[in-house]
Structure 1
Amino acid sequence: MRSLIGRQAPKFKTAAVLNGTEIVQDFSLDQYLGKKDVIFFFYPMDFTFVCPTELHAFQDKIDEFEKRGVAVVGCSVDSEQSHWAWLNTPKNQGGIQGVKYPLVADFSKEISEKFGVLAGKYAPDAEGNWVCEGAPVAYRGLFLIDKKGVVRHCVINDLPLGRSVDEAIRVVDALQHFEEFGEVCPANWSKGKTALKDTHEGVANYLSEQK
């Protein structure tokens, strides 16, 4: 599948759970256009093992995202009822009680397919029945979508590999630094470090300073 980088994020409208308590049927990322950058991340399934560590990790850093004007939204192939049940299961029982950012229900798997993170692939068998080849869940995809709805960053991990929330924050900082100052961010850049002008001279000066 062609990369989504530099392109408009795929559109969708679906059910979601808000604030861990409220189910809505018409959730869309369009509500953030012109207002907030978005971290939109996929995880394989509710009631699993690696997934709750990631969802709690995002919640633990939610203040860092909010002070940067960034909305965090999670998504899996589970139903909104499954999300609601997991959100109401205590942390010490493997649940994600306390997670407040929206969780999108992709029960049809159409959103995962549009974003290119569906682990399985549906194809007809010899009798014409549609069957899934591989796991019918989402890989651990993460997309940074800017205020114009354009995908500026993505990373996709295989199912066993949890992500770094700190890295997601670092990339948000890099995008916002570029948008504010017009400076590009070199390897291993983090907020407060020197960035550089996007010129050969700027790169040369930066590299000489690192010696």
Structure 2
Amino acid sequence: MPAIDLSFLLEDPSNTEATGTLTVDPLAPLSMNTSVPGKHFQTETTPPKRQLYGMIENAFGLHFGWSKGAFGYKLKQVLADEAEADVTISGTRSRDYQPLLAPYYELELAKAPDTETYDDTQWLHKWRDTAQVRASASNQDWRGVQDKPGNYGYGKTPVQREYVVADGPWIYDVCTTESAGSALRAALKAPRGPLYLGTSDGWVDARFRFTSE
């Protein structure tokens, strides 16, 4: 596997002089939830930007924990200081998460495919004989567990998860630096981690090309 040059992280990301196109092809139905659900995980029909940046970080092998004090947080702080750049640092809450690579790639949706959504019933992953019951979870009657042991042996709380099926790729206009764009193109050709959006089974294929190519 060829090495990926990450020296662009030491540059000021505000000096964007290159443009390109990011194409994201879904390889499976996607469930891109952005809020804390009750019993229904509702998907977005267009990939949320934070999930796109998470996908890009996976391609670089840079998917760290970003909470305050974690390695990713410290790395981001050091890189921002080194580049003398104004880069927002993540807070302690997940909704404050600011991806490391976001300042280097400005994404603007240029074309979206037609989409359809559907619901799928799933089971929360916990054993019925444990006390791990979420506040929003429904409690099954013990007689139902007794009558249907095959269904209720693993996970006893049904939830609805919505999926989106896209008829084609999402295409984004990208403003970036020359070195960051070259690094992204190389990373997507030979990703260091799985490329997905939403749940870990929401596999996608992604590629980047410069406008000048």
Q: Which has the higher contact order (CA 8 A, sep 6+)?
A: 2
By the TM > 0.5 criterion, same fold? Answer: no
TM range (shorter): under 0.3
TM-score scaled by length of structure 1: 0.23
